[in-house]
Amino acid sequence: MAKIIDGKAIAAETRAKAAAETAELKKKGIVPGLAVVLVGNDPASRTYVTHKEKDCAACGIYSEEYALSASTRQEELLSLVRSLNQKTNIHGILVQLPLPAGLDSQAVIETIDPRKDVDAFHPSNVGRIMIGNYHFVPCTPAGVLELLHHENIPVEGKNCVVVGRSNIVGKPMAMLLMHENGTVTICHSHTQGLKEICKRADILVAAVGKPKLITADMVKPGATVIDVGMDRDENGKLCGDVDFAGVEPVASHITPVPGGVGPMTRAMLLKNTITAAKLQNGLAVG
């Protein structure tokens, strides 16, 4: 049976480190600050924002919330982002996605000051990730890497397969694994022979949003399986992109859903906010 990677416990460790770093920054007169912008009343987004605010409070990070109606116009939203770019007590800006229909999320992302882009979605930060000279990494891929490091799972020289090519998870995940000297294959909806490709993976990351897509016959015995999916099965029960019950006996390590990658995504946002505060105050980032 695989070792279940406890994302909740590892995220708690990450938050404790964030709290300690924040305390040290406060001794220097620096209070890391995060602004969260929520447009509309999507229940899932509302839940995520509430959790993020609680995480900030627990770690001593200052946070501001800007809740806007779904009827907010594009220029109003861009104007808010520009004003947050100028606020010296705000080091990180997060605009909760997805935005309501009619709003251009890419234009919003490109308006955020790259130094405050704690989601790491701005083209400038995406480019930095590509060349390996980056300060911020999208929170979910960063969380996955943190899980691998915590469990002492080496990436160097391993066959890594990422199923999913989104800008938020799949593409940056592939880049991070490559920077750690993994040999990376990205799969997507047009990939032929998905089963055979996945079965060659030493590290398999599923991030496509299809319930239980990855089954036991697609997994190499002893592989590490990271499930980024957050789906609902045929009974409405929360599940991931991996058929956990079938894959667990085959893998050496596996993340559960919930309680795997999800808690790490939130924890890495804290880390990015602290990094932003350090950079904007001329401090070294370790």
Q: Give the bridge partners for 225, in sequence order.
A: 204, 254
Pairing between strand 159-163 and 3-4?
A: unpaired
For residues 181-210, give the mean pLDDT.
97
Active-site entry in 52, 158, 171, 278: 52
Distance of CA 256 to the CA centre of its chain: 16
- CA dist 282 and 284 (Å) reads 7
Q: Give the bridge partners for 163, in sequence order.
A: 187, 206
Active site residue 52: yes
Residue 234: the pLDDT is 85
Q: Give the bridge partners for 39, in sequence order.
A: 68
CATH 3.40.50.720 domain range(s) in the chain: 139-262
| Chain segment 109-146, per-residue pLDDT in tens | 999 999 999 999 999 999 999 999 999 999 999 999 99
pTM: 0.95
Radius of gyration of the chain (CA): 19
CATH 3.40.50.10860 domain range(s) in the chain: 28-113
Q: 139-262: which CATH architecture?
A: 3-Layer(aba) Sandwich (3.40)
Residue 69: the pLDDT is 96
Per the listing, tokens 């308006």 go with 111
| Chain segment 40-95, per-residue pLDDT in tens | 988 888 998 999 999 999 999 999 999 999 999 999 999 999 999 999 999 999 99
| Chain segment 9-25, per-residue pLDDT in tens | 999 999 999 999 999 99
Residue 233: the pLDDT is 86
Task: Return the CATH number of the domain spanning residue range 28-113.
Answer: 3.40.50.10860
pLDDT > 90? residue 271: yes
Active-site entry in 55, 113, 117, 119: 119
Band of pLDDT at residue 195, cut at 50, 70 and 90: very high
- CA dist 34 and 65 (Å) reads 9
- CA dist 22 and 274 (Å) reads 7
Active-site entry in 55, 96, 117, 202: 96
